[in-house]
């Protein structure tokens, strides 16, 4: 390591999206390497609405690896962080910053410590795959800082060791996590199926039921399923391979009816219309993710949602519907009074109007398909270039 200035700090800042699976990852065949029992397919969500931003800094003055998440210091001693840091350090190369008079040789990275500051622009631990965005962002940004020359497939296999579904957040659009069969996990990587531009009229509305931490972690839920469910193996070996193939075809041909049919249906509306209007999916949390074919359908959907799940009377509409607020325009709703005046969307079988359920939904996020990780410029750094601590 050669440097003119002793107290130098180098940083890199990146942003990575979260993703929502439409063919789910459920069950590990190797807990340490996070290897799944089936392929999965996801859509990457718009990073403007759902993403992690992470700055990684390196300096000879840092005495240990440290991390701050949403402003709070957290431990990086767990296996998941350690595995990602170790694997990325192995791939690090020489880095030179001529302006700062700094040259880091690839072998120096084993001794240098990093500071990591990250924040999520959506609730962490609300079942919205924050760790997927977080680990994808961490690995992507460390790779930039350390001048790693590897494709996103390789980076995805490292991010996978932080959080399984993080591997899918290395790409935008539609992404497959190929389960692979090698015991080392080298072929358990994300593969892009189609970029976000391929089917960019899809609108995604997330009904955030609870922004609280979920009670059962995905890790323990999956472990219980693997240990106790005879159906899980059947799902992985018989059901999923066929569905993955059908889903890939539906994405390729932008066949919304097949796409929605595979996920399942928003029963009544879709039945009433004859052809599917909206698809829905859930991850291991209570939040519903609703996918509509275009903005017009999304507007109609949002009208129905706002009728059935009205905001609390003293709240602001602008904090009840967040993300792409222009969908409110499609819904013909601009104020709390407009919501009060909405007609009931559909009748129950007995002719009674659909019931209003107040207070169950915290808020709705309107979003769309998004792009993969991006490097941000220095002005967006979360770490002070003089102290090396979060700003």
Q: How many residues bind ligand ADE (CB under 6 A)?
A: 10
Residues 152 and 167 sit within 8 Å (Cβ to Cβ): no
Q: Which is closer to ligand ADE, CB of 129 or CB of 301?
A: 129
**Is residue 59 a contact residue for ligand ADE (CB under 6 A)?**
no
Q: In whole angstroms, what separates CA 390 from the centre of its chain?
A: 23
- Least distance in angstroms from the C-beta of 220 to ligand ADE: 17
For residue 327, count CB atoms less than 10 angstroms from its CB and return exposed for 0-12, middle for 13-18, buried for 19 or more: buried
Between 158 and 291, name the residue whose CB sits nearer to ligand ADE.
Answer: 158
Cβ 77 to ligand ADE shortest distance, Å: 14
Backbone angles phi, psi at 57, to 5 degrees: -125, 145
If one counts every other C-beta atom within 10 angstroms of the C-beta of residue 364, the result is 23
Tell me how far apart the alpha carbons of residues 18 and 1 are, in angstroms, rounded to a whole number.
36
Name which of residues 90 to 129 contact ligand ADE (CB under 6 A): 118, 120, 124
Asked if 298 contacts 205 with a C-beta cutoff of 8 angstroms, the reply is yes
User: Measured from the CB of residue 124, what is the shortest distance to ligand ADE in angstroms?
Assistant: 5
Q: Does 131 bind ligand ADE (CB under 6 A)?
A: yes
**Residue of 17, 36, 134, 390 interacting with ligand ADE (CB under 6 A):** 134
Residue number, 59 or 120, with CB nearest to ligand ADE: 120
Beta strands in 285-325 (DSSP E): 288-292, 321-323
Stretch that binds ligand ADE, among 104-112, 134-142, 144-152, 172-180 (CB under 6 A): 134-142
Closest CA to 143 of 95, 71, 75: 95
What is the nearest approach in angstroms of ligand ADE to the Cβ of residue 66?
13
Closest to ligand ADE by CB, 27 vs 162, is 162
Give the containing element (helix H, strand E) for 297: helix 295-308
Closest chain position to ligand ADE (CB)? 134
Residue with tokens 């993969």: 372
Question: Is residue 124 a contact partner of residue 69, using CB atoms and an 8 Å limit?
Answer: yes
What's the min distance (Å) between Cβ of 70 and ligand ADE? Answer: 8
Q: Does 69 help bind ligand ADE (rule: CB under 6 A)?
A: yes
Closest CB 89 distance from ligand ADE, rounded Å: 17
Q: Is 119 helix (H, G, I), strand (E, B) or coil?
A: strand
| 130 or 292: CB nearest ligand ADE | 130
Query: Which residues, numbered 255-274, are part of the site for ligand ADE (CB under 6 A)?
Result: none
Choose between 163 and 270: whose C-beta lies nearer to ligand ADE: 163
Question: What mask of x and - would describe binding to ligand ADE in positions 159 to 188, judged by CB under 6 A?
Answer: ------------------------------
CB 18, CB 134: distance < 8 Å: no
* Contact criterion met (CB below 8 Å) for 17 and 44: yes
The 24-53 contact track toward ligand ADE, x by CB under 6 A, reads ----------------------------x-
Does 141 contact ligand ADE by CB under 6 A?
A: no
The dihedral formed by the CA atoms of 157, 163, 164 and 166, expressed in degrees to the nearest 10: -70
Return the H-helix or E-strand segment holding 55.
Answer: strand 51-59
Q: Which of 123, 122, 188 is nearest to 161 (CA)?
A: 188
Nearer to ligand ADE, 141 or 277 (CB): 141
Q: Which is nearer to ligand ADE, 69 or 148 (CB)?
A: 69
Q: Which residue, 76 or 322, has its beta carbon nearer to ligand ADE? A: 76
| 272-301 binders of ligand ADE (CB under 6 A) | none
Is there a contact between 66 and 390 (Cβ–Cβ < 8 Å)?
no
Rg (CA), the chain: 22
Determine if 138 is a binding residue for ligand ADE (CB under 6 A). yes
Burial label, 155 (beta-carbon count in 10 A; 0-12, 13-18, 19+): buried
Q: Which is nearer to ligand ADE, 69 or 331 (CB)?
A: 69
Which residues of the chain form contacts with ligand ADE (CB under 6 A)? 52, 69, 118, 120, 124, 130-131, 134-135, 138
């Amino acid at each position: 390591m050669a440097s003119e200035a002793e107290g130098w700090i180098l940083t890199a800042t990146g942003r990575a999206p979260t993703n929502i699976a439409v063919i789910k990852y459920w069950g590990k065949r190797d807990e340490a390497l996070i290897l799944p029992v089936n392929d999965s397919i996801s859509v990457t969500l718009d990073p403007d609405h759902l993403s992690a931003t992470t700055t990684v800094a390196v300096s000879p003055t840092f005495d240990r690896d440290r991390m701050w998440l949403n402003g709070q210091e957290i431990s990086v001693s767990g296996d998941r962080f350690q595995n990602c840091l170790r694997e990325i350090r192995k791939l690090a190369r020489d880095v030179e910053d001529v302006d700062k008079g700094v040259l880091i040789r690839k072998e120096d990275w084993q001794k240098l410590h990093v500071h990591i500051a990250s924040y999520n622009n959506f609730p962490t631990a609300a079942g919205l795959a924050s760790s997927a965005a977080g680990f994808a962002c961490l690995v992507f940004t460390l790779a930039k800082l350390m001048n790693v020359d590897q494709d996103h497939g390789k980076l995805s296999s490292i991010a996978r060791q932080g959080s399984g579904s993080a591997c899918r957040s290395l790409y935008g659009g539609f992404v497959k996590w190929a389960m692979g069969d090698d015991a080392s996990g080298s072929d358990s990587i994300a593969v892009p199926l189609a970029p976000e531009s391929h089917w960019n009229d899809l609108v995604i509305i997330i009904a955030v039921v609870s922004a609280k931490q979920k009670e059962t972690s995905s890790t323990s839920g999956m472990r219980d399923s693997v240990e106790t469910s005879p159906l899980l193996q059947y799902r992985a070996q018989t059901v999923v391979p066929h569905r993955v193939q059908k889903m890939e075809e539906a994405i390729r041909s932008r066949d919304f009816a097949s796409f929605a049919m595979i996920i399942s249906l928003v029963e009544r509306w879709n039945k009433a219309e004859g052809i599917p209007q909206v698809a829905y999916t859930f991850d291991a949390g209570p939040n519903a993710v609703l996918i509509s074919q275009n903005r017009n359908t999304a507007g109609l959907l949002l009208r129905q949602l706002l009728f059935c799940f009205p905001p609390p009377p003293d709240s602001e509409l602008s904090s009840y519907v967040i993300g792409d607020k222009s969908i409110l325009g499609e819904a013909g709703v601009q104020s709390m009074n407009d919501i009060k005046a909405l007609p009931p969307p559909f009748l129950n079988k007995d002719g009674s109007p659909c019931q209003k359920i107040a207070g169950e939904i915290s808020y709705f996020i309107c979003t769309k398909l998004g792009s993969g990780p991006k490097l941000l410029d220095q002005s967006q750094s979360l770490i002070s270039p003089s102290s090396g601590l979060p700003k």
